[in-house]
Amino acid sequence: MTAINEVTDYALEDGVGVITLNSPPVNALSFNVRDGLAGGMAMALADEGAKAVVIVCEGRTFIAGADITEFGGAQRGASLYDVQDAIEGSAKPVVAAIHGTALGGGLEVALACHYRVAVPSARCGLPEVNLGLLPGAGGTQRLPRIVGPEKAMEMMTSGQHVPAKSCLEMGLVDELVEEGDLRAGAIAFANKIVVEQRPLKKVRELNDKVEAARGHPEIFENFRKANARRFRGFLAPEYNIRCVEAAVNEPFEEGLKTERKLFGELMSGSQSAAQRYAFFAERQAAKVPDVPDDTAVIPVNKVGIIGAGTMGGGIAMNFMNAGIPVTIVEVQQDALDRGLATIRRNYERSRTAVPAETEARMSRLTGALDLSALADCDLVIEAVFERIDIKKEVFTKLDAICKPGAILATNTSGLNIDEIASVTKRPDAVIGLHFFSPANVMKLLEIVRADHTSKEVINTCMKLARRIGKIAVLVGVCPGFVGNRILGARQREANKLIMEGAMPWDIDRVLYDFGFPMGPFAMSDLAGLDIGWVKERSNGETIRDVLCEMDRRGQKTGAGWYDYDENRNAKPSPVTEKILHDFIVKSGANPRAISDDEILERCLYPMVNEGAKILEEGKAIRPSDIDVVWENGYGWPVYEGGPMWWGDKVGLTKVLDKMKEFQGAMGDAFKPSPLLEKLVGEGKKFQDLR
């Protein structure tokens, strides 16, 4: 075994030159790894004993892509293109031995090899689109030559990690080797290639599939049309498609030039900067400065849930999906039966439903009508009606019933968890686990740290979130926590703007064009305007009262803020327009024309300001946590980085000046946070607070 450098070894094994990379955590293509590959190839080619070459990685995965932390930095070490040319141009067959995830530049290295083998648990993908990029090392030209243009576009615009078995079927992998025996399997495969004198298969020369697509531009038009909704607002998917078009219509080297040009454009753009920021922000969010990673973790092998309604049922599915048995408690049999039936229906209706799997998951679920059934649970999550008195009553009972050491969690979306904890003798075991509806789908989990919550309970819940496939963000106790508190700032302005002359559909259009999936008024029509509305107490004091009294309760009644046709397509409503006008005049004001810019600034700047207040109060650990909350729970477009990142992008001076202008005109609701003032005063950004 010869050390090429600190992350690469070379060894001759059974007539094969084996290059082993070992650069934790994910063997990313740092300059060291690139140098190691270049050095290893040179050694293997010079080694007369080596009839073939195998590239294999130690650790949990094959190369998981270019080293994203190096982006934007000075180029060091061997270039990836040179490494690939050395591999593809090798006179000896080169085999990539894949385990874990061969992603991005990692798969592109494997595609420069003549053959690829993998263990069955491996997955391959080109997820650069998730970073606002495209595969910039030949992947856009080589992948279509193996899997065809359609499949290549699907893989490159979804970023999906394709299981090894499917890779084999698509020809992306040449052979599956025994799980746990990758190295030996790859060496044996390499020797087989030599013995059978198989050709040095250069992917760049495999033109059948791309030539077959030449003269069929409909392939691309149809793909664009079919995915227009999914790609809305993003630049990268279209750029990926253009590269595949180049692979079909241009010779390989020309296609490479197109790829490099389009890659450069994306790399220098703000969308990719925002999406790369989001990548690291998600991983940062998992780290709690005063709760070391090795803090004790409480085993969670049995979970109890109180309330089998929409939230309770969705929450239960997360644990059942992760193999954790769940007991769900309801007060009445029919409510329990309804809850269990909904969970089963959700499984049966899911796109990936497999009856055996549905049964396996349902077998982990037990229904009960008595809280005592939760006595031996490791974690209990309360998802009952959002009233503090009811929650305190439940926690008083849980405190008496649950075993010592059990974690008592509430799914409240904004009530005071310290007050809830105060009714128990174990406030250190009380924490907020705020799931988002539908809880079995939404990735975000706001974990709410109360005054006495122990570090063990926090660390346990942060780790558990990962186990159930959630992105956890730790926040402090304050009304609405982080997500809903900032939503309140936006909603308050949206409601004020319609009282000044803006139409609901104007506000929705501006926020939709900004990149939100839906504006607040369309959202409330979808949810129903009558949530929390009491007919008996309604007296036309608010516009919502008037709309509900007119039975305009949203999509379900065919009218709300908007009018809806039989297919529930929304259109601006002259009825709502008149109601608004009359309301404004009755209040003694005159409706005025409001520009799109003012709408955007009035809705988004207070969100940035509220985020600054949250940071001041220590209710969020870092600005990027707030962005992770909004991107994964509230539809903030990831290519705009989240409210805090976006505030920096717009310029905090501009945000502050506008807030002050609005404050002057409309009062202290726009009072800038001291942190915002301080950062502007020091010429700093939120990102400097990391």
Interface with ligand T1G by CB under 6 A: which residues? 25-26, 28, 61, 64-69, 101, 103-105, 108, 127-128, 131, 133, 135-137, 139, 280, 283
In the complex with ligand T1G, the residue whose CB is nearer, 66 or 522, is 66
Q: Using H for helix, E for strand and C for coil, what is the string for 92-103?
A: CCEEEEECCEEE
In the complex with ligand T1G, the residue whose CB is nearer, 134 or 580, is 134
CB of 595 to ligand T1G, least distance (A): 39
In the complex with ligand T1G, the residue whose CB is nearer, 126 or 614, is 126
Catalytic choice (6, 13, 128, 175): 128
Q: Is the dihedral of CA 676, 678, 683, 685 positive or negative?
A: negative
CB of 140 to ligand T1G, least distance (A): 9
CA distance 404 to 522: 47
In the complex with ligand T1G, the residue whose CB is nearer, 281 or 306, is 281
In the complex with ligand T1G, the residue whose CB is nearer, 64 or 401, is 64
β partners of residue 66: 29
Q: Is the separation of the CB atoms in 329 and 368 below 8 Å?
A: yes
Catalytic choice (6, 58, 108, 196): 108
In the complex with ligand T1G, the residue whose CB is nearer, 108 or 174, is 108
Amino acid at 397: K
CA distance 396 to 391: 9
Dihedrals phi, psi of 366, to nearest 5 degrees: -125, 135
CA distance 324 to 340: 16
In the complex with ligand T1G, the residue whose CB is nearer, 321 or 495, is 321
CB of 102 to ligand T1G, least distance (A): 10
Identify the residue whose tokens are 């990029």.
Answer: 133
Q: 254 an active-site residue? A: no
Can you say whether residue 224 is alpha, beta or left, with left for phi > 0 and alpha for psi between -120 and 50 degrees? alpha
CB of 83 to ligand T1G, least distance (A): 11
The full length of the chain comes to 690
CB of 111 to ligand T1G, least distance (A): 11
CB of 101 to ligand T1G, least distance (A): 5
CB of 496 to ligand T1G, least distance (A): 41
CB within 8 A of 595, min separation 6: which ones? none
Q: Is the separation of the CB atoms in 131 and 275 below 8 Å?
A: yes
Q: Is the separation of the CB atoms in 221 and 121 below 8 Å?
A: no
Closest of 610, 670, 621 to residue 644, by C-alpha: 610
- DSSP 8-state assignment for residue 554: B
CB of 28 to ligand T1G, least distance (A): 4
CA distance 668 to 234: 36
Q: Is the separation of the CB atoms in 231 and 97 below 8 Å?
A: no
CB within 8 A of 193, min separation 6: which ones? 52, 93, 95, 114, 115
Q: 128 an active-site residue? A: yes
Cα dihedral angle (559, 561, 565, 566), rounded to 10 degrees? Answer: -50
Can you say whether residue 27 is alpha, beta or left, with left for phi > 0 and alpha for psi between -120 and 50 degrees? left
In the complex with ligand T1G, the residue whose CB is nearer, 25 or 667, is 25
Collapsed DSSP state (helix, strand, coil) of residue 20? strand
Provide the annotated active-site residues. Answer: 108, 128
